[in-house]
Structure 1
């Protein structure tokens, strides 16, 4: 999705239960404030000020093999950190 209005519309939509955003401090602050201002506030997860965000799917991370892979956390093994590339994966 792209654009301020599109982001604001999504954050305000009653079916949305949490918001994640990677981008500018100004855009993130706006979305955070909208999430907090809802009648039932929702969590906001932001990576703000990044110039080169990386998203890695679980399949891609594990297909690449164990080089540089450090596992931590979850009882289901779902949290991982790929330090060599700076990529992070949190989820199953």
Structure 2
């Protein structure tokens, strides 16, 4: 079973006091699996049809302005998180 809140790298790969042992990560500089899966998911505007983007965002995009660019960036980010959650769910359903 995988947990989306688990760290991608539970060990900080630096030398411990003995010069050999990896030091356990203190959770301050590591991504969770959910964050990592979302970050590496390749998504572009072309991957999200407008009707799906509207469902994700709960509204239609603004007119052709900078707000439109920000709306699409937000839709892409939310879509990546949805895909990351789906991957974690699928991994947990495997025997």
Normalised to the residue count of structure 2, the TM-score between the two structures is 0.29
- Higher relative contact order, chain-length normalized (CA < 8 Å, sep 6+): 2
Which structure: larger Rg? Answer: 2
Looking at secondary structure, tell me which structure has more helix per residue: 2
